[in-house]
Amino acid sequence: MKSSIMIFALSILLLSGCSELSNNGKEKSSEVEFVFNNSTADTPDFDVVFNDNGSTLLHRSQFSQDNSQLSAGPFETVQSGSLDVEIILLKDKLPRSFGELSLPLKKDWRYRVIFQIVSGDPTEGCLGCLGYKSFAIDSTFKSNPDDSLYIVWGGNSISDPVDY
């Protein structure tokens, strides 16, 4: 009798530790997707490097075109720690400008990281944006003298997303 109670108690304990598991037995994932949003006709050549315990390099050619946006992902990430993201703008295959940021990772979360070259507020009209950083860029990439490279990020729960 005591052994069946122990087995039952152990089963409850093990199952309660699996609350982060989805119905198919896998952990809830965390993800990141990347977008290069460009309002000008000429999107520069670029590389994106992201690292969450293993580096991944994406070249512009790995992004899909959708109107004035290039997008890649989502890519699965680890669920804790940080996600380091760097974009390198290239001219004649040489790095000319770059920007970088580090995002805190959490379970059941999808980040969207948007790269854009603009001179105004990059978050105007952006729902779900959590922040941005700006970086000076080489004049080769400017259509306006005040242009900068902006990295804007936002996120949402994967299993219980907020609809904007």
65-69, 70-74, 77-81, 152-156: least confidently modelled range = 65-69
For residues 28-45, give the mean pLDDT: 83
Is residue 26 pLDDT above 50, yes or no? no
Report the percentage of the chain scoring pLDDT > 70.
81
Q: Which position has the higher pLDDT, 3 or 55?
A: 55
In the chain, domain spans? 24-157
Task: Enumerate residues 6+ apart whose C-beta is below 8 A from 77.
Answer: 30, 31, 32, 52, 83, 105
- As a whole number, mean pLDDT of residues 20-46 equals 72
- What is the arithmetic mean of pLDDT over 15-23? 37
pLDDT digits (tens, 9 = 90+) for 99-150: 999 999 999 999 999 999 999 889 988 888 999 999 999 999 998 999 999 9
Q: What is the pLDDT of residue 27?
A: 54
Using pLDDT thresholds of 50, 70 and 90, give the confidence band for residue 33.
very high
- Which has the higher per-residue pLDDT, 20 or 31? 31
| pLDDT at residue number 164 | 75
Could you tell me the pTM of the whole model? 0.81
Tell me the β-bridge partners of 117.
149
Q: What is the DSSP letter of 21?
A: B
CATH top-level class for 24-157?
Answer: mainly beta
What is the pLDDT, as a whole number, of residue 111? 95
Confidence band of 90 (pLDDT split at 50, 70, 90): very high
Report pLDDT for 72.
Answer: 97
Residues 6+ apart with CB under 8 A from 108: 28, 29, 30, 79, 157, 158, 159, 160
